């Protein structure tokens, strides 16, 4: 069974049913039934036209459900409209499905779940495992999202920026269970880039590739975090870096800068440095200036303070940090790092311990606790 083929065909099959008049929720259920039937039948009897087979089976499943519905009389006419057997049309409505799943009426978590289900072809169980929630909880979330978008017309124009935010959220979830969400986000963004000629789509794809290239070096064998400066750069994926840089350069050449391109440019500068000491921090600060102008994001300004601390010295970084709200996530950890760079180990150790209590993940908490303990031991010698 070619699971990748099934997942790649899912959005186009769903779009065919919606275009024929099925509401989104019913169409999505019918497609899932067809996928289950494919898993059962195809190993022994693979079809010549996989998409056509899925469309036919899904449409019949939809009609069966429609006949048993209280609105059967109003839907009987559709039974006569079933197309004759033959190759399915080559029209690809995946892009419209992206826009539908990223509809502004949905919460970010619901938009992500619906995108993974309808466009990514993942099962509810797989999505639930990835998000570490019960399958029933994820099923309810997806059902509510489907009901929300069921009355939205598929041909309404969509917002590329909203779709990109949803894909960025998927990527940042990382991976757990048997689904690698980072890899899935890259696959879906490649799919979107093939359909949309937009520099920010290319910028997001480049950003994902450049970040993903460092994945193998981010953790030690015991699972502990490895900071960027301490990573073994020989473990970085040079092929992914080269691809990301090439995509980014082509996007930047169009002179339509956006936030994902700016983030990718920063990631590319890190990837380009043979060692941490050779990082071009001055240029990174310049890109953070561009990114701050584009987004006006406090988190961007927090990261900019770190870059300033590397480019102009820790006291300059602390001065930039002082202008920011100290309730920002990871503000205390950044302050600890800059104080450590400035030689104030007592303050740094105290701040690392404080930051550990605020850490959003167990791995980050353990890392900060270790930093605090290391500085306290060094100071007491």
- Tokens 């083929």 locate to 5
Q: Tell me the DSSP string of 334-357.
A: HHHHHHHHTT-HHHHHHHHHHHHH
Separation between Cα atoms, residue 312 and residue 130, nearest integer Å: 41
Q: Are strands 179-180 and 175-176 parallel, antiparallel or unpaired?
A: antiparallel
Separation between Cα atoms, residue 244 and residue 267, nearest integer Å: 10
Crossing angle of helices 199-212/238-252, nearest 10°?
Answer: 160
Please give the pLDDT value at position 119: 82
Rg (CA), the chain: 25
Q: Where are the beta strands (DSSP E) in 97-240?
A: 175-176, 179-180
**Averaged pLDDT, groups of 10, the chain, 381 residues long:** 82 88 88 91 91 94 80 48 48 70 84 86 83 88 88 66 87 67 88 90 97 94 92 96 97 96 98 96 98 95 97 97 94 97 96 94 93 84 60
Nearest to 277 by CA among 245, 304, 311: 311
Instruction: For residue 123, give both structure tokens.
Output: 């099962």
| 3-class secondary structure, 176 | strand
Separation between Cα atoms, residue 370 and residue 364, nearest integer Å: 10
- Tokens 């353990």 locate to 366
DSSP tag of 276: G
Helix, strand, coil content of the chain in percent (nearest 5): 70, 0, 25
Cross-strand bridge partners of residue 179: 176
Please give the pLDDT value at position 259: 96
Cross-strand bridge partners of residue 219: 225
Q: Where are the beta strands (DSSP E) in the chain?
A: 175-176, 179-180
Instruction: For residue 361, give both structure tokens.
Output: 């993940």
Please give the pLDDT value at position 91: 42
Please give the pLDDT value at position 358: 92
């Amino acid at each position: 069974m070619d699971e990748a083929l099934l997942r790649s065909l899912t959005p186009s099959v769903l779009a065919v049913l919606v275009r024929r008049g099925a509401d989104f929720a019913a169409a999505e259920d019918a497609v899932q039934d067809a996928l289950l039937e494919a898993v059962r039948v195809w190993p022994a009897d693979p079809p010549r036209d996989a998409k056509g087979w899925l469309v036919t089976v899904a449409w019949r499943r939809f009609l069966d459900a429609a006949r048993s519905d209280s609105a059967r009389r109003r839907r009987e006419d559709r039974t006569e409209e079933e197309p004759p057997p033959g190759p399915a049309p080559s029209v690809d409505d995946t892009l419209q499905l992206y826009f539908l799943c990223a509809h502004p009426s949905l919460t970010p978590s619901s938009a992500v779940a619906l995108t993974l289900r309808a466009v990514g072809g993942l099962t509810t169980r797989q999505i639930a495992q990835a998000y570490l929630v019960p399958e029933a909880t994820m099923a309810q979330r997806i059902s509510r999202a489907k009901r929300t978008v069921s009355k939205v017309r598929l041909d309404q124009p969509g917002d590329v920026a909203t779709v990109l935010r949803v894909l960025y959220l998927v990527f940042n979830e990382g991976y757990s269970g048997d689904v690698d969400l980072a890899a899935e986000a890259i696959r879906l963004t490649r799919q979107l880039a093939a359909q949309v000629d937009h520099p920010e789509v290319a910028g997001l794809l480049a950003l994902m590739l450049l970040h993903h290239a460092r994945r193998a070096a981010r953790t030690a064998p015991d699972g502990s975090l490895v900071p960027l400066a301490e990573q073994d750069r020989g473990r970085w994926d040079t092929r992914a870096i080269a691809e990301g840089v090439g995509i980014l350069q082509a996007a930047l050449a169009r002179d339509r800068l956006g936030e994902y391109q700016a983030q990718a440019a920063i990631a590319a500068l890190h990837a380009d440095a043979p060692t941490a000491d050779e990082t071009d921090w001055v240029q990174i600060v310049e890109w953070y200036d561009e990114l701050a102008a584009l987004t006006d994001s406090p988190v961007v300004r927090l990261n900019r303070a770190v870059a300033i601390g590397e480019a102009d010295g820790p006291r300059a970084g602390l001065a930039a940090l002082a202008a920011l709200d100290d309730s920002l996530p990871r503000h205390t950890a950044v302050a600890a790092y800059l104080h450590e760079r400035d030689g104030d180990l007592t303050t740094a150790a105290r701040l690392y311990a404080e930051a550990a209590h605020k850490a959003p993940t167990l791995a980050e908490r353990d890392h900060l606790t270790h930093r605090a303990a290391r500085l306290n031991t060094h100071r007491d010698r």
